[in-house]
Amino acid sequence: MFYQPLSAEVFAYFLVFTRLGATLVVLPGIGEQYISLRVRLLFAFGLTAVVTPVVSERLPALPADVSGLFILVASEILIGFAIGMIVRFLFTALAWGGTIISFLSGFSAAQVFNPMLADQGTLPAVLLSLGGLLLVYATDTHHLIFFAISDSYNLFVPGVAPILGEFAETFAILLGKSFVLAMQFATPFIVFAIVFYTGMGLLARLQPQMPVFFVALPLQIMIALVIFSLVISSTLLWFIESFEASLNFFFVPN
């Protein structure tokens, strides 16, 4: 008599932990390699203890066989991983935009370690990525991420097969939006590069003996730094607004 309720209670926490744990593995800020595994695991346990009583009504009963349990857990891990990747792709818009800026401003050769992508990146890409992450946690926008994870149980009910076509379409739309945001972040530098390189081309035609490259590169870097200092704050604020609007995908009526 005591075993069955206890198993159902443990199963509810375990099932929620599978989705939350898979999400936190790739979630920006928490799922980074420089965060201790024990810290991430402790945070996942704490978040599971908070979320489980909220979503317990939407959880299915304990499957009667092992195969049903395996399929249910695998689907929850897949959904959690997909949610984390959606948030991750929204953050990579800053890295992509910074990479475009670096090619247009002469910083493409300066490579440093980018902790957000665990790979080498250009200086503008690293600065924008870390600045965006800092701004998300400084403005408590990360609370919206956790609310979205909790509300995902309305969108992807455990035990019910998700509509993969619509999910893939939404994933593709958000990924395309990240590319659009990256181009929008780099728009001032694209305009600057068109004007600057057009002027350098005319100067090279008027003065063929002038070493245009040696004259243009320091000037290009200096002007790009001035533009970057003017637009970085508005770029990060624009990212925060777009990030919040993109997360509305997870919030659906009960």
Say what the pLDDT of residue 142 is: 83
Q: Distance (Å, rounded) from C-alpha 125 to C-alpha 28?
A: 15
Q: Distance (Å, rounded) from C-alpha 28 to C-alpha 92?
A: 10
Residue count of the chain: 254
Name the more confident of 111 and 93. 93
Residue 34 pLDDT greater than 80, yes or no = no
Domain count, the chain: 1
User: Mean of the per-residue pLDDT values for the chain?
Assistant: 80
Say what the pLDDT of residue 153 is: 82
Spell out a b/e string for 85-111, using b for 16 or more CB atoms within 10 Å of the CB, else e.
bbbbbbbbbbbbbbbbbbebbbbeeee
CB atoms within 10 A of CB 155: 16
| Neighbour-count burial of 182, counting CB atoms closer than 10 A to its CB (0-12 exposed, 13-18 middle, 19+ buried) | buried
Q: Give the rounded percent of residues in the chain with a pLDDT score beyond 70.
A: 88
How do residues 158-174 score in pLDDT, each as one tens digit? Answer: 877 666 776 777 778 88
Residue 89 exposure: Cα atoms within 13 Å on the Cβ side = 19
Residue with tokens 């004007």: 195
- Average pLDDT value for residue range 194-217: 80
Q: What is the DSSP string of 89-107?
A: HHHHHHHHHHHHHHHHHT-
Q: Distance (Å, rounded) from C-alpha 25 to C-alpha 87?
A: 12
Say what the pLDDT of residue 249 is: 66
Whether 13 contacts 48, CB under 8 Å: yes
The token pair that represents 168 in the structure block: 């893939």
Say what the pLDDT of residue 2 is: 41
Q: Which of 181, 184, 158, 172 is nearest to 249 (CA)?
A: 172
Say what the pLDDT of residue 205 is: 79
Range of the domain at 35: 3-250
How do residues 91-102 score in pLDDT, each as one tens digit? Answer: 888 888 888 888
Of 150-159, 186-195, 202-211, 242-251, which has the strongest mean pLDDT? 186-195
How do residues 36-71 score in pLDDT, each as one tens digit? Answer: 788 888 888 888 888 888 888 887 777 777 777 788
Say what the pLDDT of residue 1 is: 42
Say what the pLDDT of residue 162 is: 67
Q: Which of 244, 235, 11 is nearest to 127 (CA)?
A: 235
Calculate ∠ Cα 32-33-34, nearest 5°: 95
Say what the pLDDT of residue 115 is: 64
| DSSP-assigned letter for residue 33 | T
How do residues 172-189 score in pLDDT, each as one tens digit? Answer: 888 888 888 888 888 999
Backbone torsions φ then ψ of 35, nearest 5 degrees: -85, 130
- Average pLDDT value for residue range 207-236: 83
